[in-house]
Structure 1
Amino acid sequence: MHKTGFLLDMDGVVYRGKSMIPGADAFISKLRANGVPFRFLTNNSQRTRRDVALKLCRMGIHAEETDVFTCAMATARFLAAQKPGGTAFVIGENGLGMALHHNGYSVVDDQADYVVVGEGRTLTFEMIERGVRLVEKGARLIATNLDATCPTDEGIRPGCGAIVAMIERATGVKAFSVGKPSGVMMRMAQRELGLRSEDTTMVGDTMYTDILGGVEMGYRTVLVLSGHTTMADLAKYAYRPDVIVNSVSDLDDQFILGESHAAA
């Protein structure tokens, strides 16, 4: 039997807002105890992987920096492969700039190879304006993800998809997105774990990112109802997850160890 592994969405799967979802800590401990490889996969480009790991630890979920895979990391690695040592004008926060620097990119205000857009609360209209002008001059437009909204404790706020839409509409240029459901990010994380597609399980709470990406990649997919998707929402989609559970705490040992993979 081949080893199996998990790609785990975060918000709605292991925590909601600032609170851990009950049983998520035991689920992660079970993966570790059984040597099951996994990565926390997030479409949030604001924090570095170290910051994300600390947030999980403070909630009571043991996490190492290397357990975390962000769309900022995926974007930076993708650009480094496309054009090594390139330049980027960044609309986003610390996690995105750090990931680009780590992968040999310089962050600039003009003559940029790419305009890279993430989410965040620090952007100004002047940044959008500069991004539009750089794209008009030939910079390629990259989005870390196309999520229209970000959940917060107070409600939703505009996400990366909403921010990049302003530049798309103004320039007529469509952004290339690296985050979920893009296979670019998901395959990078899968390769980091050394897994085959058929031995990879994607666990998420969102049909149009986590589950869609997993279905397109040929992964086993698990929809948890601990986020914002309800059973009634499933009727809207032409694709379905392999398994639906209330939360990760409902996944039994047999499923975690991959023994039920053929039947899933």
Structure 2
Amino acid sequence: MEINNYRNFFFDLDKTIWNWDKSVTGAEDLIDTLKDAGKNVYFHTDNTLLSRKAYADKLSSMGIPAEEEDVITSGYVAAEVLAMNNTRKVYAAGEQGLVEELGKKNIEITEEASTAVMGLDRNFNYDKISKLKEIIERDGTVYTCSTEKTFRRESKELPHQRPFNSAVKEYGKVELVGKPTEKYRKVFKDYFDYFPGKSLFIGDRLADIETGNKLGMKTAAVLSGDISEKKLKKAEDEQVPDYVLTGLHKLRRRII
């Protein structure tokens, strides 16, 4: 199928649409072109620094209009998973975006909990890892929202969540709820109204491509982030994209 024939476009945010402080070259023009052509545009991210509403506001401030319901985050997914499990109290290692999503599900954040959830936390410290260690050793559950290694701002690369996950794994098992897990995909399918055969899932990580493929969509890898030609050559079947793009501007040319 030609890219122009897809109706729904699902974009990752970090290293795909933006480098946090600034959108990547061609992002605004591409989204405008898609919307002018009557396409549906949605966004997905494993970065829990902001809530869905805050991400929509951030996109809009960059000239990419979006509403809260156009965005899904792994923080929202974590809150949904906890709610489905009737978990009403958690220990949270994360920032405002994760806290807000948990609050919207009326999940209390407390140190007196047997379940924990970890998002990107730029204030991760000894006390937090001690508490997570304690929960694991008491046979509690620790959910993590991402396996991303780096977080890119316009000027530099910073640590993302993976190093913190590795530290906690020293004490036992943690469970991922971000991309490409089954839990993530279940919440995703309930959240968005779309037909997989008419949808394209775009991202910069193999986890993005695996997620889109397992959701039954066509997938596009952009080489603006973690995916490289070398990684694609070693990718497993479920991680192989249908399209490979050097940048979003290449996608726009195939829409016009």
Q: What is the TM-score of this pair, normalised by structure 1?
A: 0.85
Matches within 5 A, 1:152-191: 152-170=153-171, 172=172, 174-191=173-190
Q: Distance in 2 between matches of 1:66 and 1:226?
A: 26
Q: Which residue of 2 aligns with 1:87?
A: 89
Letter of the 2:166 counterpart = A
Q: Distance in 2 between matches of 1:93 and 1:71?
A: 13
Number of aligned residue pairs? 250
Residues 76/243 of structure 1: CA separation in 2 closer, same or farther (3 Å cut) = same
Deviates more, 1:212-221 or 1:226-235: 226-235
Runs of 4+ in 1 over 6 A off after TM superposition: none
Letter of the 1:41 counterpart = H
Letter of the 2:232 counterpart = L
**Is 1:224 the equivalent of 2:226?**
no
Q: Which residue of 2 aligns with 1:197?
A: 196
- Give the conservation status (yes or no) of the 8 Å contact 2:203–2:209: yes
Letter of the 2:169 counterpart = E
CA positional deviation for 1:217? 2.6
**Is 1:247 the equivalent of 2:247?**
yes
Alignment RMSD (CA, Å): 2.3
Q: 2:80 aligns with which of 66, 77, 80?
A: 77
- Please list the CA deviations of residues 120-149 of structure 1 after superposition, one character each: whole Å capped at 9, or x if unmatched: 211221011011112222321111122233
CA positional deviation for 1:187? 4.0
Secondary structure class of the residue paired with 2:170: helix
Q: Distance in 1 between matches of 2:255 and 2:176?
A: 32
Q: 2:103 aligns with which of 101, 112, 130?
A: 101
Unpaired runs of 5+ residues, structure 2, are none
- Please list the CA deviations of residues 55-94 of structure 1 after superposition, one character each: whole Å capped at 9, or x if unmatched: 222322222222221110011011101125x110001111
Matches within 5 A, 1:23-102: 23-84=26-87, 86-102=88-104
Residues 130/182 of structure 1: CA separation in 2 closer, same or farther (3 Å cut) = same
Q: Distance in 2 between matches of 1:94 and 1:17?
A: 16
Q: Distance in 2 between matches of 1:248 and 1:254?
A: 10
Secondary structure class of the residue paired with 1:90: strand
CA positional deviation for 1:255? 5.8
- Give the conservation status (yes or no) of the 8 Å contact 2:135–2:142: no
Q: Distance in 1 between matches of 2:7 and 2:182?
A: 19
Residues 253/59 of structure 1: CA separation in 2 closer, same or farther (3 Å cut) = same
Q: Distance in 1 between matches of 2:82 and 2:34?
A: 32
CA positional deviation for 1:234? 1.6
Residues 188/253 of structure 1: CA separation in 2 closer, same or farther (3 Å cut) = farther
- Give the conservation status (yes or no) of the 8 Å contact 1:89–1:109: yes
CA positional deviation for 1:176? 1.3
Letter of the 2:193 counterpart = G
- Give the conservation status (yes or no) of the 8 Å contact 2:11–2:43: yes
Residues 82/198 of structure 1: CA separation in 2 closer, same or farther (3 Å cut) = farther
Letter of the 2:170 counterpart = R
Deviates more, 1:180-189 or 1:9-18: 180-189
Secondary structure class of the residue paired with 1:166: helix
Q: Percent identity?
A: 25
Q: Distance in 2 between matches of 1:130 and 1:67?
A: 35
Matches within 5 A, 1:122-141: 122-141=123-142
Q: Distance in 2 between matches of 1:44 and 1:222?
A: 20
- Give the conservation status (yes or no) of the 8 Å contact 1:115–1:135: no
Q: Distance in 2 between matches of 1:146 and 1:57?
A: 27
